[in-house]
Structure 1
């Protein structure tokens, strides 16, 4: 029996999505690579790979997502691994964020991801197999000033994925929440980071933005190694539900959990005081 898998990857035109696409194709699997832009992607991979189907798709357009998934299944017959990688980052303190800016973050990172899941699950349930890999972030387990909208969206990815894992387990479908730390892509570059339009001097957003951008080109994580991990877990019989990637993510999440436990213990008496006696 062939072990070749069919992958459906969003946000595949650059960064981690592009590295995963390249690695999967080199591994001999098939890829449905989706992105809002096609030009740069085709320059990177070419158009003559018979294992590659590259389609223009905006994850926030539900009808477009539904149509692209149906087309993909018709072309390759099935989908085995789903990588919800498309993402958007907006820097700004909560008071500075407009309603439309916050909604744009949620539209891409949460509702766009959910559009893909909603319309791909009927195919996975019929197969009684599949692996959904949702890209969260170390920022989905903790947050920092000026990054609340992104963290809120990635916290939501974790909560949604934990519920999803329990819902689809009876159908033989696995779910993994990937929580990368800082990886050396263009995600923190000036061209990729969006910044709130309304700036309030009291918060010094400019300094917060400069702090984030200072990591660009110095990130600890190697996206090529991340791609190999995804291939590895796609072959596991029982893949992890939660998977931090990178020493920065692993250590920061553990530290955050330790601080949470200490706080819970400190306020235990008050927490338990509300029960009926």
Structure 2
């Protein structure tokens, strides 16, 4: 990586978010890592970060687990937390679009549980939401990338 970019990582205390933050910092990138406990305040948090550090080039959303700190095991809750957080980013994106948003799904979305036919419908709803959001963001010159580590068998 040549030119230093500004990366906002939501949910960087453990796992993939932490790994991404360490990798980017090792490659001389400016990384702002915050953990989100309430997706209702996401726009305000992002505005504060951008006002302090300058325009954001990338946003990595890895915070879905933290939004469900009560360890709710309902896939619909996990998917709704993803959609709610991405909706919460829209005011900032409309004002000053980053280059890309990279979304890491809640891990429960990647697990195929026996008897969870509703999971397939929920994942289809999430895919439909992300497809629409991607088209909306494209009009703002902002990309949306949905990374799914490992296998997803539904």
| Cα distance per residue 1:92-146 (max 9 Å; x no partner) | xxxxxxxxx466x544x33333343234333333445420111137975883316
Q: Please tell me whether residue 78 in structure 1 is matched to residue 47 in structure 2.
A: no
Alignment of 1:1-277 (within 5 A): 3-35=3-35, 57-58=36-37, 60-63=38-41, 65-88=42-65, 101=72, 105-107=75-77, 109-136=78-105, 143-145=112-114, 154-181=123-150, 249=151
Offset at 1:6? 1.3
8 Å contact kept, 1:6–1:30: yes
Query: How many angstroms apart in 1 are the aligned matches of 2:64 and 2:116?
Result: 14
Residue ranges of structure 2 left out of the alignment (5+ in a row): 66-71
Query: How many angstroms apart in 1 are the aligned matches of 2:62 and 2:53?
Result: 21
Aligned length: 149
* Structure with greater contact order relative to length (CA < 8 Å, sep ≥ 6): 2
- Give the superposed CA RMSD: 3.4
Query: How many angstroms apart in 2 are the aligned matches of 1:70 and 1:137?
Result: 24
Residue ranges of structure 1 left out of the alignment (5+ in a row): 36-56, 89-100, 182-248, 257-277
* TM-score (normalised: structure 2): 0.74
Query: How many angstroms apart in 1 are the aligned matches of 2:118 and 2:31?
Result: 31
SS at match of 1:180: coil
Name the larger-Rg structure. Answer: 1
8 Å contact kept, 2:58–2:100: yes
8 Å contact kept, 1:140–1:152: no
**Does the C-alpha gap of structure 1 residues 74 and 157 become closer, same or farther in structure 2, counting only changes over 3 Å?**
same
8 Å contact kept, 2:79–2:109: no
8 Å contact kept, 1:66–1:119: yes
